[in-house]
């Protein structure tokens, strides 16, 4: 998933996160050429499924624009979102042939893909790429574990505050906002999707958002547009120690 580090690294190449300075400044140029050769783009509409859990997945890639979600579903229909993919986030599992989760586009989505086997070949010859991928995967692991704390131990109100503060921070770094001043952005998820991320029902999500609004922690314009007058206050509501946690 996205974090300040991978994002910063991504600045110099909007369309292909693998090929950014952090990796490629150290790579030989013919390796870069080869990456370029096996690269292609895929476009999805909002609501479309990118891959189904268990299906063969013969590419790896990253999000160029739009938002996708990773979800798991039990037989009886209970679902849990296990990841949120924003621009520059990586998808795919070198060394695996099938997808472990449903990947769904929640907005229109553009992905930059590489066919898996040539990509793996390249990884074998280019240690920096494998190392870079390892770092990105460790970031995702941190994010997933951070989220385990949210799911296991936080109250509904704290969960909502956590989610909003994560989205706010991602959005801020995406637009290179330099700290301070009120943040404003659109929630990229429906109430139901938030509920699936937070392990709540959509009614509880709605109620808690209303409560945070009433208490002045956030302002709402319409149903989606949020402004945050005081980020520290929000993080306090989220139960985070100021500017410490939340790697996502």
Partner DNA sequence: AATGTACATTGACGCAGATCAACACAAGGC
Partner DNA sequence: GCCTTGTGTTGATCTGCGTCAATGTACATT
Task: Give the footprint of DNA on this chain (CB under 7 A).
Answer: 155-157, 190-192, 199-207, 209-210, 220, 222-224
Determine, following the binding rule CB under 8 A, whether residue 237 of this chain makes contact with its own copies: no
Please pick, from the candidates 25, 30, 33, 152, the single residue that binds its own copies as defined by CB under 8 A.
Answer: 152
What φ, ψ does residue 194 adopt, rounded to 5°? -60, -45
Cα separation, 28 vs 14, in Å, equals 21
- β-strands 90-91, 102-105: how paired? unpaired
| Helix pair angle (116-125, 29-37), 10° resolution | 170
The dihedral built from the CA positions of residue 159, 61, 18 and 177, taken in this order, carries a sign that is negative
Q: In terms of CB distance, is 95 or 222 closer to its own copies?
A: 95
42 binding partner (options DNA, its own copies, none; Cβ < 5 to 8 Å by kind): none
Q: 74 to 93, contacts with its own copies by CB under 8 A?
A: 74-76, 78-80, 82-83, 93
Please pick, from the candidates 12, 28, 134, 175, the single residue that binds its own copies as defined by CB under 8 A.
Answer: 134
Q: 6 to 65, contacts with its own copies by CB under 8 A?
A: none
Determine, following the binding rule CB under 8 A, whether residue 123 of this chain makes contact with its own copies: yes
The dihedral built from the CA positions of residue 141, 146, 152 and 156, taken in this order, carries a sign that is negative
Distances in Å between the Cα of 202 and the Cα atoms of 115, 156, 199, 207 are 38, 11, 10, 9
Binding site for its own copies (CB under 8 A): 70, 72, 74-76, 78-80, 82-83, 93-96, 100-101, 123-128, 130-131, 133-135, 137-138, 140-142, 144-149, 151-153, 198-199, 239, 241, 247
């Amino acid at each position: 998933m996205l974090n300040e580090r991978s994002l910063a690294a991504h600045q110099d190449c909007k369309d292909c996160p693998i090929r950014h300075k952090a990796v490629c400044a150290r790579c030989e140029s013919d390796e870069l050429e080869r990456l370029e050769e096996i690269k292609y783009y895929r476009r999805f509409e909002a609501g479309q499924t990118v891959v189904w859990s268990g299906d063969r997945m013969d590419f790896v890639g990253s999000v160029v624009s739009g938002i996708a979600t990773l979800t798991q579903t039990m037989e009886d229909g209970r679902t849990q979102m296990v990841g949120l993919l924003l621009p520059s986030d990586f998808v795919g599992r070198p060394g695996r042939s099938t997808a472990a989760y449903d990947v769904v586009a929640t907005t229109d989505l553009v992905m930059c893909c590489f066919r898996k086997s040539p990509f793996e070949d390249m990884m074998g010859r280019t240690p920096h790429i494998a190392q870079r991928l390892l770092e990105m995967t460790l970031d995702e692991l941190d994010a997933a574990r951070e989220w385990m704390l949210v799911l296991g131990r936080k109250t509904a109100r704290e969960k909502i505050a956590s989610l909003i503060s994560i989205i706010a921070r991602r959005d801020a770094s995406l637009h290179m906002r330099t700290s301070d001043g009120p943040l404003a952005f659109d929630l990229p998820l429906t109430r139901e999707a938030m509920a699936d991320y937070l392990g709540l029902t959509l009614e509880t999500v709605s109620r808690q958002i209303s409560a945070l609004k009433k208490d002045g922690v956030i302002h709402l314009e319409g149903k989606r547009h949020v402004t945050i007058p005081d980020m520290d206050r929000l993080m306090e509501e989220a139960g985070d120690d100021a500017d410490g946690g939340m790697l996502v």
